Amino acid sequence: MNVLGRLQQLGRSFMLPMIALPAASIFLSLSVLPWDRIHLAQMADYLALASQAIFTFLPYIFAIGVALGMSGNAGTAGMAALVAMFIYKGITSAGNPDIEPTVMIGAIMGLVSGLSFERFKNIKLPEYIQFFGGPRFVPLFVSVFAVIFSSLMVGASDDIQSGLIRLGEIVDSAGGFGVFLYGFIHRILVVFGLHHLLNHVFWFQVGGYTAPDGTVAFGDLPRFFAGDPTAGSYMAGLYPTMMFALPAIALAIIQEAREDLKPKIRKTFLTAALASFLTGVTEPIEFAFLFVAPYLFVVHALLSGVMMWVTYELGIRHGFSFSAGAIDYVLNEHLATRGWLILPIGLVFGIIYYVLFRWAIRRFRIPTPGREEGSQLDEWAGDIPYRAPLILEAIGGKENIVQMEACITRLRLKVSNEKQLDINALRNLGAAGVIRLGGGHVQVVFGTFSELIKEEMNKVIRNGQSQVLFCSPMQGRMMPLEDVPDPIFAGKLVGQGVAFMPDKGELVSPVKGTVLMIYPTMHAIGIRTDVGLDVLLHIGIETSKLTDKGYFQAVVQEGETVMPGQLLIRFDLNRVRKASKSLATPMVITNSDMVKTWRFAPFKAVKKGQTSIMSVVLAERDGGGRSDD
């Protein structure tokens, strides 16, 4: 595995245990309510204890979370990490009672457990001790490691603790400029999904604080919730970005969209803006301009750093359990210092962002969604079960997937062959962006629906339904069959399917199959797939009368086996346009009774040979079995 790929996996693993932190924040906020007024005075103590328990056992949560993330959710790795933490606690308590497990220790145990699982899950031992082979060897190995590691930590813990505190002092000595650098680098790393690594250092390692009860908290986030008045400098400055700057960008994109596309763009980006404002999920907006204007993203990263610098210099200290959205802002305001100043600062920078992005989009003709050259986003959240097979095909099929995980906003994949990825198809299917990290490691940004998409893809893989996937037979715009200006095709009397409005005079095969027939005028061709589906491709409407050989030219013969994307017919686009009723080209399955369900990609612009534009699941045969691909 290459370095970026391993870091990507590690970053996702660090994010997994943080899912528990919002509960701690909510419990702590609820504990300050006047429960005694409804005769539940003890509830305040219970809620405070619940919050404290999560932070107390946070190292154990990180150990299990990192182990699961590094091993593909292997329970054996999680158990090994937990056993290692128990061993660490037992040995260090006996050797030096002042030593307490930290998040860093949990991360180390989780990392070792996850890597050990990947290394030893298939290990073979001599037959008489093979019981301890395979995954069962992992807890044994990690336990031995934990004993050695814990013994060393007994002697080195004081120096390490002093080092962490000293590191915090060094970082703090950089003042506002250090916070600026953090903010800038944080936004740049978001592109690669590696920002969790940076966050882990600053949020859970840098700086120490001894609470009144004697417990020591390390890192900006635990120190903030432990009551350290100096903590929160690496979190407060993120609030203006999430709550104001990104929604302002979304508003600018909406305002600069074409009038005919503005309603659709407004719906999509208002949802994205609300997600950023409330929960701090920013990728759907950031990826809308990242790939078309990377220089503008650099400006955005610089401004994010400036916002962090400003909040630091004004003495604002605020924190969060999950991300810098309005929900966390309200929940944790009672712990903040001068937190109210975030609102006017955010409003000012929101206006700056809105003016800057509207000017840049218009001045440099940036093809953001909704522009003439831009991508057209659509509302598709409810369509996930239908698009999942198409997304799977655009990735290259289940055979191309080595590993698949999902974080909050993106699918994190390792594929066998990156060349099998159809980037354009993935974008048409809802991806905001595709990032290649090398070594087969790929991230596909689908926003907050990524986890649902992964689950639906896993269902498709597990079910193994017999289905046929279609690629685009031409370059142009995909359209519903009902929009074809012909009652026979629009009424689906010939068969069910889709249609295309071509931009180029080439027709290619949408499937693997055998050419059944070519009409004498060569304006239509029939293909039978390996499972017996009969596919008719009909170029234009009322084109059967075009008998002149200058209109159409077939480059295949009847009986010939064709592959997806293989050229079938060339045609003179301009001549056919002038001589026919319409260029609309239906692609229908004439024996539609063989099909159980249909799945269609969004009706957008497509490229010739583009994968994942239509998928059908075959109906059961009379004998009860399913057809094979």
Task: State the DSSP string of 431-444.
Answer: -SEEEEEETTEEEE
Phi-psi region of 124 (alpha: psi -120 to 50; beta: other; left: phi over 0): beta
Q: How far is CA 133 from CA 136, 240, 606, in A?
A: 6, 53, 51
Q: Is 407 a catalytic residue?
A: yes
Neighbour count for residue 235 (Cβ, 10 Å): 26
Helix/strand/coil percentages in the chain, nearest 5: 55, 15, 30
Neighbour count for residue 169 (Cβ, 10 Å): 12
End-to-end CA distance of the chain: 33
| Cα angle: 258, vertex 259, 262; to 5 degrees | 80
Could you tell me the strand order of the sheet in which 433-438 lies?
A: 401-406, 410-415, 441-445, 433-438
The catalytic position among 146, 407, 481, 527 is 407
* Phi and psi at residue 306, to the nearest 5°: -65, -40
The answer to whether residues 527 and 511 touch, using CB atoms and an 8 Å cutoff, is yes
Coil, helix or strand at residue 515? strand
Residue in this structure with the two tokens 């519903």, named with its chain if needed: 480
Rg (CA), the chain: 29
- C-alpha 499/C-alpha 515 separation (Å) is 20
> Taking Cα atoms as reference points, which of 378, 356, 380 lies closest to residue 369?
378
Helix axes 3-15, 58-70, angle to 10 degrees: 140
Coil, helix or strand at residue 219? coil
Positive or negative: CA dihedral 500, 504, 508, 511:
negative
> Taking Cα atoms as reference points, which of 87, 328, 105, 67 lies closest to residue 216?
105
What letter does residue 242 receive in the DSSP assignment? I
- C-alpha 148/C-alpha 302 separation (Å) is 45
Strand partners, 514: 528, 561
Q: How far is CA 22 from CA 124, 189, 226, 329, 564, in A?
A: 42, 23, 15, 12, 48
Pairing of strands 595-600, 567-571: unpaired
| Cα angle: 121, vertex 126, 129; to 5 degrees | 80
Both tokens of 68, joined, read 């699961």
The answer to whether residues 478 and 498 touch, using CB atoms and an 8 Å cutoff, is yes
- C-alpha 184/C-alpha 297 separation (Å) is 11
Could you tell me the strand order of the sheet in which 595-600 lies?
A: 467-470, 614-618, 595-600
- C-alpha 289/C-alpha 264 separation (Å) is 17
Q: How many residues does the chain have?
A: 629
Secondary structure of 460-483 in the HEC alphabet? HHHHCCCEEEECCCCCEEEEEHHH
Catalogue the active-site residues: 407
